[in-house]
Amino acid sequence: MARTNSPWNRVRRAVGVLMAAGALLSGPASADLPTRVQIPISQVRSEKGIIFVALYQQSNWLVPGRYLRAQKVKAHQGTVVATFEGIPRGRYGVAVFHDENRNGKVDTNLVGMPAEGFGFSLKTPLRKPSFGEISFDVQPSAYAPTRLRY
């Protein structure tokens, strides 16, 4: 006759209950969670034009037209926010420019610097940054503040 209330059976039942509770409380696996990238863009100087925000992978960093996703946000003085949903997990960089005259391109001055506001995720040096300097991870979400320079 088997002992149904032996210490070993109690331990097995307790472990089973804990595993079931853990599975129920943990929710979906992190791979199933939707991804979201929020990009607050600060120092926008005017409400003229639009803010163009491009999300890049390393292999295409700053190659014209080769961004993963892009969006245009209505400009207004202060801070605007761009949000990308459903981005695959990975490492990304953001490039932003304020197209004040709405001509669809980054205008430059005589020495080749942008004549309109520009910025990159996390920091905005006065040169083209490397992908490693401005990149961030999306797992399952990311926050990549960007400051414009004019």
pLDDT digits 0-9 by tens, 49-73: 999 999 999 999 999 999 999 999 9
Q: How far apart are CA 122 and CA 41, in angstroms?
A: 10
pLDDT digits 0-9 by tens, 74-108: 999 999 999 999 999 999 999 999 999 999 999 99
Q: Does the predicted model carry a pTM greater than 0.85?
A: no
What CATH number was assigned to the domain covering residues 33-147? 2.60.40.10
What pLDDT does 29 receive? Answer: 45
Radius of gyration of the CA atoms of the chain, in A:
24
- The domain ranges of the chain are 33-147
What pLDDT does 33 receive? Answer: 67
**Cis-peptide into 145, omega within 30 deg:** no
What is the percentage of the chain residues whose pLDDT exceeds 70?
78
Residue 3 has pLDDT above 50, yes or no: yes
What pLDDT does 86 receive? Answer: 95
Q: How far apart are CA 94 and CA 53, in angstroms?
A: 7
From start to end of the chain, where are the E strands?
A: 36-44, 50-56, 69-74, 78-85, 90-99, 118-120, 136-138, 141-143, 146-147
